[in-house]
């Protein structure tokens, strides 16, 4: 038997994905939790999604509502795990951004698996696999950027070690990913901007990854089309005072497109991996405390430039497709890094120097990035010197 030109691949995702404006307000969507005691995690402003919380209350017993602020660290995660175990919770639900969803994944896993968080963390912990299936877990994103509702890992910071690391298992994929674009209508401008650029970065990196496959390719191409049609409009809506009550059909359409872009980016990265932007973003975020989305935006153009300068023809064809989708058919891959740079800068996104990374730490950042899992997907193998060059150009 001859060999296929389509490589062998595996594709895993959340058990159920539901997408639609207003779905989060329907109690029927939470049948997974019927009769269970639910530990509910939210972002710092739960008033944004009171109707969603009420819908869950009509289906299940909400034993605790915990607010999380910022990107989770090991101390905050263990506090949440302790609270969840003490409440005798039987299920977990996260309503919030990627950090809230990641925290929920870990809490759900540690409700059914004994021991401490460090038993299961990569790099700074023992990296043990979870033995028992996590408690039922639903993810309801309120931002459009991380795609965490369909990924199998949780990113956690450690102030003590100055890094961000993952807890990872195929069993940590949510049982329900409920994507309601209506929840993004109250998202502030900066969060809209940075989460949208994170989604674009994930789509580009998964599409150019060495581990890409035919399914992730289709998701990335379609996701980039939705990004190109929705991004600027969502930023304009967030900047306006229209909010929910004044949102037009075009506003809702743009938010929906960005939610699709984010969802597809999560589906793609979970199955194709990422690249050097995310290889850098995790370590630098741990070193500086800078927001993940801001780091991705600051690094995207120069990582793309370095990849394009050293890529093979197959990868260059992919960058050409990215350039055409985002910036038009007359664009070439050679134009892409500068166009990405100007797109980011026109929105006033910080450079690396503004985000706390100083030149004396470039070598440390490069060394940590080389060990990051995301680097395994980058289409080009970089030397430490090339990585430092990227940092210098991104400063």
State the CB neighbour count (10 A cutoff) for residue 51: 13
C-beta of residue 94 within 8 angstroms of C-beta of residue 41: yes
Over 60: is that where the pLDDT of 2 sits?
no
CATH for 102? 3.40.50.1970
Residue finishing a domain among 184, 218, 250: 184
Torsion angle of C-alpha atoms 313, 334, 195, 175, degrees rounded to 10:
-10
What integer pLDDT is reported at residue 327 of this predicted model? 98
- Residue-wise pLDDT tens digits, 23-45: 999 999 999 999 999 999 998 88
Average pLDDT, the chain: 95
Give the up-direction half-sphere exposure of residue 286: CA atoms within 13 A in the CB hemisphere: 26
**Which domain-ending residue is among 119, 151, 184?**
184
CA distance 25 to 94: 14
Do 263 and 165 fall within a single domain?
A: no
Work out the pLDDT band at 3, boundaries 50, 70, 90.
low
Q: Does 1 score more than 70 pLDDT? A: no
Q: Please give the residue range of the domain that contains residue 195.
A: 189-394
Residues 100 and 157 in one domain: yes
The pLDDT of 188-205, averaged and rounded, is 97
Contact 278, 201 (CB under 8 A): yes
- Quote the number of domains for the chain: 2
* Shared domain check, 119 and 43: yes
According to the model, what pLDDT value does residue 377 have? Answer: 97
d(CA 295, CA 350): 8
pTM listed for this prediction: 0.96
């Amino acid at each position: 038997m001859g060999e296929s030109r389509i490589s062998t691949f595996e594709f895993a995702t959340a058990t159920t994905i539901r997408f639609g404006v207003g779905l989060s307000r329907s109690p029927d969507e939470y049948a997974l939790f019927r009769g269970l005691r639910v530990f509910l995690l939210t972002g710092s402003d739960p008033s944004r999604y009171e109707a969603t919380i009420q819908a869950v209350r009509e289906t299940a017993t909400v034993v605790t509502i915990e607010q999380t602020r910022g990107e989770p660290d090991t101390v905050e995660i263990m506090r949440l795990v302790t609270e969840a175990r003490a409440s005798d919770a039987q299920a977990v639900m996260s309503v919030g951004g990627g950090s809230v969803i990641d925290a929920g994944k870990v809490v759900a896993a540690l409700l059914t698996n004994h021991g401490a968080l460090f038993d299961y963390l990569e790099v700074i912990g023992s990296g043990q696999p979870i033995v028992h299936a996590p408690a039922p877990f639903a993810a309801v994103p309120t931002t459009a950027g991380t795609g965490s509702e369909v990924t199998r890992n949780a990113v956690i910071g450690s102030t003590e070690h100055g890094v961000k690391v993952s807890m990872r298992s195929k069993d940590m994929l949510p049982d329900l990913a409920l994507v309601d674009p209506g929840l993004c209508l109250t998202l502030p401008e900066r969060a809209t901007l940075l989460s949208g650029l994170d989604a674009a970065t994930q789509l580009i990196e998964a599409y150019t990854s060495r581990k890409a496959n035919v399914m992730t390719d289709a998701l990335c191409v379609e996701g980039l089309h939705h990004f190109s049609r929705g991004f600027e409009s969502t930023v304009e809506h967030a900047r306006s005072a229209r909010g929910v009550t004044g949102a037009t059909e075009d506003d809702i359409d743009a938010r929906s497109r960005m939610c699709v872009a984010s969802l597809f980016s999560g589906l793609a990265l979970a199955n194709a991996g990422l690249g050097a932007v995310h290889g850098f973003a995790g370590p630098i975020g741990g070193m500086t405390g800078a927001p993940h989305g801001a780091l991705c935006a600051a690094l995207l153009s120069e990582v793309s430039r370095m990849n394009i300068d050293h890529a093979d023809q197959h990868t260059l064809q992919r960058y050409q497709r990215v350039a055409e989708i985002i910036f038009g058919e007359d664009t070439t891959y050679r134009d892409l890094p500068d166009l990405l740079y100007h797109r980011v800068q026109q929105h006033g996104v910080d450079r690396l120097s503004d985000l706390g990374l100083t030149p004396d730490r470039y070598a440390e950042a490069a060394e940590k990035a080389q060990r990051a899992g995301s680097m395994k997907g980058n289409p080009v193998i970089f030397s430490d010197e090339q990585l430092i060059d990227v940092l210098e150009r991104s400063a």
